[in-house]
Each structure stands twice: as structure tokens, then as C-alpha cells.
Amino acid sequence: MSDLPRPDMTPEEFRIHGHRVIDWIADYMANPERYPVLSRIQPGDLRAALPAHAPEHPESFESMFADFEKLVVPGITHWNHPGFMAYFAITGSGPGILGELLSGALNINAMLWRTGPAATELEEVVMGWLREMLGLPSEFFGVVMDTASISTLCAVAEARENLGLGIREKGTGAARLRLYTSEHAHSSVEKAAIILGLGQESVRMIPSDAEFRMIPAELARAVAEDKAAGWLPFMVVATIGTTSTTSVDPVAAIADIAAANKLWLHVDAAYAGPAASLPEMRPKFAGWERADSIVTNPHKWMLTPFDFSAFYTRHPAKLRAAFSLVPEYLRTAEDASARNYMDYGVQLGRRFRALKLWFVLRYFGQEGIRQILRKHIALAQMFASWVDADPNFERLAPVPFSVVCFRAKPQGMPEAELEKFNSSLLDAVNADGRAFISHTKLKGVYTLRVAIGHLRTEESHIRAVWELLQAQTNALSKP
């Protein structure tokens, strides 16, 4: 018997509470639409409802769970709601949730092969499966990261190491490194430059064309100009599926410029990458197989609960050279014969993330996943066709994947009033509770975004959002 005042749950207690939690999740997944998509609490509401101090004495699981339902759930914005169409409509799935649960139970830290042999080898296998699904050559070595921001940070660190200037040992010194990306690239590229001490000035944004794609001739011009001015160009980050419009940079042309100038080519396909598993979408990925490194997030568009970012590098030895630093206590007899993933990134401790993607890939199968992605793309095309056919709406970007950028443009309304109108429209739609959409700005124009990527989103849901947009447009344009 334990002499602790409160030992862990007994197996019997765990079983009872565990079943209750699983039942709750099953009901939740069956009908997330019982909740408004966007939480309706105000800032500070939950804080005010909770005690200021941790409890001195043990509490019952029943009272904890009751507070979860009463206090926490109302403060949830429901990413699982099929009307969630903001940002990227991330979806989890049953097998993914169960994989997460088991990973939490095992509590493995997969820093060394020895500390998690199965986690290490499952990571190798799953990342190999995913690489093959995406049509990438076998030279690409995969590492599971938490987010695309960290994957891109690792890519920039690798590219910097690749210069062979000893920056890892001595710092950048007088070298003025320059990295190129499009003006539509994700902010994580600039953040990586900040974190690695290269400075924001090391990032040069290349202009994009009318369809928000990096202009290769502008990239070539910028590199030549910088070289002449004493900068050291070392990297270019191309995006397949930019965050605002999901535009696709011309990666093949960018790869040519990278090769001619010995630049590291990193491809950010955080959201769109999974679409490479569709043969009909492959042309949009032309040239990415020539990249030095690639990131894509199964947690964005491959049914895997947050977080799971897949980072691929063609040069694992360089990734290791950028990060490996092994103190004595972490040396093991298997160092020569097995992979220690702690050597391939920032973190020492690593979660057992491979399990959930392994479950997802096996449960749905490649064919099942392809059909789900195809459905999302078809729904987005359908939504875009409604926008195009309505004289009171205007589409503002092409729809290469499953995101539609548009705005309301009531006939006769002057341009100067459209931003305020669309911002009010966004608020009105989101206040309804059935849908959550977000916005961006494209070339200065206030733009609404509908992102489709949820396992449970059906035509009825996008029709509901569309009818809501039309009804609120009518209501708001009445004088």
C-alpha cells in the first residue's frame, strides 16, 4: 500500500473515469454542432470563474470533470465543428485521437533510440510512408517536429551550416547572409532569421505576380543585386499553398535559380503538402522534389490531431551538423547503429507523435485520405462557383486547393466603403454560431476567406455559410 495521502487512480477508478471520458469524446465527435463554433465567452471570464490557488487537498474526478463541462467547454472555439472554416480548417479524427491517448499513456521521451526504440523506428517508418505518398524521392530523410515554424527554423539552421563558415562555432561575424522568400511567405521564415541571429534584414521579400506567386525574374535580379552589394545569398524559401491565398510559387523555376546560385531551397507546404498524394494535384508540386528541405503538416490537412509537422531534408548529415551536441550522460552503446532523433533538431525530449499518424494512415488508408482531400477540393470549387455567379460578390484569388478568397461587393457600393462593409459582414456571419470564417488583406484589399478541410464538412455546411453570407449582405446593405 502507498503511504501517500493520495496515490494515483486505482486501475478500477481509471477504468471508470476513462470510460466516461471516452463516452464524452464519442458524443462530442458525433455532434460538435451542438455548440456555436466560436466561443462566446469574454476575455477574463474563465479566469474569474476559477479559484486563484491550486487546491490544497485532493479533489474528486467527478468535480473536475463537472467543471470541465460547465466552465471549460463554453470557452472552447470548436475546431472540430464542420462550420469551422477560418485559417486552415484543421481536422483530427478518431484514430488520431486514440493514437494521442496511447502516446500520453506511454509517456515516452523519444530523444534516444534507447529511450524509445519503437517510437524512433515507427517515426522512421511513418515518415517513409508519408514521403512515398507525397511522391518524394527516397533521399529525403524525415523528422517529426511540432510545428512548421520549428521545421522551417531547422531548415534555415541547416542552410546556414551548409555554408561551411563555422557560424555554429563563431557566430555570423561580418558575414551578411541573405535569404529570399515571397512577400506572401509565412511569418515563420522571418522568425527563424530572428531566432538564429541573422536579423530581419537578412530576409529579402521578393514581389509576387497578380496570382500571388513569387516572380522568379525578381528573385534572380535580387540575388545578383545583393551579390554585387556584398551580401552572401544562401537560401530561398518557396511556398506551395501560401497562408493567405494558397498560391503556389513556381518552384521549378526557383529551383533553377537556387542551383545556379548555390542557394539552399526550402519548400514550405505546411498546409498544401498532403494534396501531393493526389496524382491530379502533382503538377502543382513540380520542382519540389529538387528541394534541399521541405515541410508539410499532417496536423493541417491529414486528419492528425495537433501537433505533427513533417520535416524532410535531403541532407540529414547537415541537419545533424547543425544541431548535434551530445553530453556524456546521453551517450549510448547504440549510437553507431541506431538513430537518436535528439540530434536532428532543437529539442532534447520528443513526444511519440508517430503513433497517431501511423493509426491515421492505417485506418483510412491512402485511398481513404485521397478521397477526403478530393472532397474538400471539390467543395471549395463549388463555393467558388457560387461566388463567381453572384453579382454581389467578387472572388479575389484563384482556388488551387480548398481555400476561397472573396468579398461582398454589393452592386453600386463605392470601393471606399467595401472594407468596412466586409468587416461587418465577417462579424455578423461569425456571430451566428454556425460558421467561423476569417479574413486577410490582398494587395491592400480586405478579403474574406473560407477554408475547407474538415472531415465532417458536407455540402450542407458550405451552403449554410453561403446563405448566411448572402442574407447578411442583404441585411447590411439596406439603408
Query: Which residue ranges make up the site for ligand PLP (CB under 6 A)?
Result: 147-149, 186, 188, 239, 241-243, 268, 270-271, 297, 309
* Residues 252/269, Cβ–Cβ less than 8 Å: no
Minimum CB distance to ligand PLP, residue 365 (Å): 25
Minimum CB distance to ligand PLP, residue 196 (Å): 16
Q: How far apart are CA 451 and CA 325, in angstroms?
A: 41
Q: Which is nearer to ligand PLP, 147 or 162 (CB)?
A: 147
Q: Which is nearer to ligand PLP, 300 or 315 (CB)?
A: 300
- Long-range contact pairs involving 55-60 (C-beta distance under 8 Å, separation at least 24): 58/5, 58/6
Minimum CB distance to ligand PLP, residue 471 (Å): 31
Q: In what order do the strands lie in the sheet with 445-451?
A: 393-395, 403-408, 445-451, 438-442
Cis-peptide into 432, omega within 30 deg: no
Minimum CB distance to ligand PLP, residue 245 (Å): 11
Direct distance between the N- and C-terminal alpha carbons of the chain, in angstroms, rounded to an integer? 75
Indicate the burial class of 137 (C-beta count within 10 angstroms; 0-12, 13-18, 19 or more): exposed
Query: Could you tell me the three cell numbers for 318?
Result: 547537415
Minimum CB distance to ligand PLP, residue 403 (Å): 10
* Residues 368/448, Cβ–Cβ less than 8 Å: no
Minimum CB distance to ligand PLP, residue 86 (Å): 12
Q: How far is CA 102 from the centre of its chain?
A: 23
Minimum CB distance to ligand PLP, residue 329 (Å): 31
Minimum CB distance to ligand PLP, residue 249 (Å): 11
Q: How far apart are CA 216 and CA 171, in angstroms?
A: 31
Q: Which is nearer to ligand PLP, 267 or 469 (CB)?
A: 267
Q: Which is nearer to ligand PLP, 268 or 343 (CB)?
A: 268
Q: Which is nearer to ligand PLP, 309 or 457 (CB)?
A: 309
Q: How would you classify the pairing of strands 438-442 and 445-451? A: antiparallel
The DSSP output letter for 248 is: B
Q: How far apart are CA 476 and CA 412, in angstroms?
A: 14
Query: Could you tell me the three cell numbers for 108?
Result: 515516452
Minimum CB distance to ligand PLP, residue 88 (Å): 6
Minimum CB distance to ligand PLP, residue 84 (Å): 15
Query: Could you tell me the three cell numbers for 413?
Result: 457600393
Q: Which is nearer to ligand PLP, 243 or 304 (CB)?
A: 243
Q: Which is nearer to ligand PLP, 113 or 312 (CB)?
A: 312
Among candidates 213, 227, 218, which has minimal Cα distance to 261?
Answer: 227
Q: Which is nearer to ligand PLP, 439 or 463 (CB)?
A: 439
Q: How far apart are CA 241 and CA 249, in angstroms?
A: 8
Q: Which is nearer to ligand PLP, 202 or 297 (CB)?
A: 297
User: Where does residue 108 fall: left (phi above 0), alpha (psi -120 to 50 degrees), or beta otherwise?
Assistant: beta
CB atoms under 10 Å from CB of 296, counted, come to: 30
Q: Which is nearer to ligand PLP, 147 or 473 (CB)?
A: 147
* CA-derived radius of gyration, the chain: 24
State the residue for C-alpha cell 510512408: 129
